[in-house]
Structure 1
């Protein structure tokens, strides 16, 4: 199973379309909010999208729950869980939803970590990265219990990969 995860594109459209063209073999395309586009915008076609704090008037849901093999994925923007300071509130939400993978954005900072057997993934930002110069997204590959995270910049250069079990 392969899942493309992006966030915080803040009005970009060509980049979202190009991601789908470049990576056409994904099982899911996830946008963790702050697209600043409408739900019917062609650039979001095929993406599962949640509402971010800059998605005013959108009809996107606050969160999504997805199944990927034996995994339950919670997708949210993160602003309602104070993710800029820590993951504790988001961890409680993941436990409440029985999620073992959480995808979120909001901070514009690329990162991922395992906390109590829950994988937290922030793909960074396609438009305004913080903490690094590259505008990033992630492809999560799930093979059994193994999770392989491939980190790319918006120019489709693979920056690095990491395997978690």
Structure 2
């Protein structure tokens, strides 16, 4: 199963829609915050896709949770915006929370810097920011052979 992972759209609904259109095989979209308004609007255009969202530090007056964990294809995915885990100063807190939740994957945003990593059974991904000249998003593929993470430039 393919999952589209986006973050930090910052009111750029065009880029969010474009990323979804470029990944027609993605059955799930996970938005990691700082764009709750446009994610809420866009999800109605794609009723065939499952959307999961958390709030970011710029999503004022938003009722979304700060973090979530979902199980898809037998893999536990922990996702958050990252500001509450202080990801701009390191990933220790994020990794600790994800491991406490028994996660296979930890997704976060906030830094606007894309990255993927694997450490002792935990996949990490920050899709970067889907806003601006260097917009990026992430793809998380859950396959029978394992988990694959990729960063794609819009």
TM-score tier, shorter chain, comes to: 0.7 to 0.9
Q: Please report how far the alpha carbon of residue 35 of structure 1 lies from its aligned counterpart in structure 2 after TM superposition.
A: 0.5
Whether the aligned pair in 2 keeps the contact of 1:38 and 1:58 (CA below 8 Å) is no
Task: Give 5+ residue unaligned stretches, structure 2.
Answer: 45-49
Whether the aligned pair in 2 keeps the contact of 1:36 and 1:56 (CA below 8 Å) is no
Whether the aligned pair in 1 keeps the contact of 2:114 and 2:128 (CA below 8 Å) is yes
Q: Please report how far the alpha carbon of residue 149 of structure 1 lies from its aligned counterpart in structure 2 after TM superposition.
A: 2.2
Q: Please report how far the alpha carbon of residue 144 of structure 1 lies from its aligned counterpart in structure 2 after TM superposition.
A: 2.2
Structure 1's 146 and 36: CA in aligned 2 closer, same or farther, altered over 3 A?
Answer: closer
Question: So what's the TM-score if we normalise by structure 1?
Answer: 0.82
Aligned CA RMSD, in angstroms, stands at 1.8
Whether the aligned pair in 2 keeps the contact of 1:11 and 1:35 (CA below 8 Å) is yes
> Which has a greater percent of helix?
2
Match of 1:90 in 2: 94
Q: Is 1:80 equivalent to 2:84 in the alignment?
A: yes
Structure 1's 135 and 101: CA in aligned 2 closer, same or farther, altered over 3 A?
Answer: same
Match of 2:33 in 1: 33
Q: Please report how far the alpha carbon of residue 19 of structure 1 lies from its aligned counterpart in structure 2 after TM superposition.
A: 2.0
Match of 1:135 in 2: 135
Q: Number of residue pairs matched?
A: 149
Q: Runs in 1 of length 4+ with deviation above 6 angstroms?
A: none
Whether the aligned pair in 1 keeps the contact of 2:2 and 2:26 (CA below 8 Å) is yes
C-alpha separation between the residues in 1 aligned to 2:10 and 2:138?
A: 17
Q: Please report how far the alpha carbon of residue 38 of structure 1 lies from its aligned counterpart in structure 2 after TM superposition.
A: 6.4
